[in-house]
Amino acid sequence: MLQVETIVKIQKNQSGPGYDILFEDGRSIWVTKARTIPALLILLKYGVGSESDLANGSTTLPTIKKILEGKYPLGLIKDYYGDANKPFSELWNEEGFTWIKQPFGLRKNRSQGYVLDPSDHEKLFLPVNKAFRQSPKITDLANIKQRLPSLCNLCGSQVVPDSQAKGRFSADRLRRRIDHRIPVQKDGKSEDKNYQILCFYCNKSKWQICNPCSKPDCENCALAFPENTTKIFPTGEDIADRMKIL
């Protein structure tokens, strides 16, 4: 069984993107995204974790940081995460650690709980397929903004960069996110036609439905293509009353 206390160092991967988590026995776990590291460390330490462990005010992450003090690059692990819903799910979806479980109905501090069984620790060293998410190129971003000028493609809210939304009323409806219509973990491409602009609130709500969807039909889902339908494919719910006028 792996222990956070036996981690020697967390460092940049020398041959590709991401980071290596090095242990005393000489082995390492490769992760591609910095924000998945604290989620994985929490699961290694406690077995169960949730976004509440990464939120402002939680003592879980400070405890992990104290154990690993001096063993990781400065700033790599933040004090808390505003998008705390994503790091745990990305361990499954993008890092390829599909043995991390998301049991239905398991809640930790009112958030969805994730579980890493000690018997699955050794699997973390196995080679797995990673889903590499890419931000749109400058030219793609210009095209997206021209097609959807500063509006959430789902609810129609005006959206702005985070710096302009801070401290304003209903800030999560203002914060702009560039979303993959078809999620990367479901073979969506990082290309112009697969991007849309969403507000932070709709982006998070979309993720909560897309993440557990096991048999996606994104082309016929309002979350991916609200231009085509008002129904969410996995649930059949019609969200026309919460969508902008198309």
The rounded distance, in Å, linking the Cα atoms of 228 and 144 is 18
Question: Which two tokens mark 46?
Answer: 């406690």
Q: What is the pLDDT of residues 139-153, one digit of tens each?
A: 777 777 777 778 999
Closest CA to 159 of 69, 64, 148: 148
C-alpha span between 101 and 68 (Å, rounded): 25
Q: Cα–Cα–Cα angle for 215, 89, 224, nearest 5°?
A: 45
What's the pLDDT tens digit per position in 11-59?
A: 999 888 899 999 999 999 999 999 999 999 999 999 999 989 999 999 9
pLDDT computed for residue 164 by the predictor: 93
Cα torsion for 114, 120, 121, 123, to the nearest 10°? -110
Answer yes or no: pTM beyond 0.85: no
Which pLDDT belongs to residue 132? 65
- CB neighbours of 140 closer than 8 A, spacing ≥ 6? 191, 192, 195
Residue 76 reports pLDDT greater than 90: yes
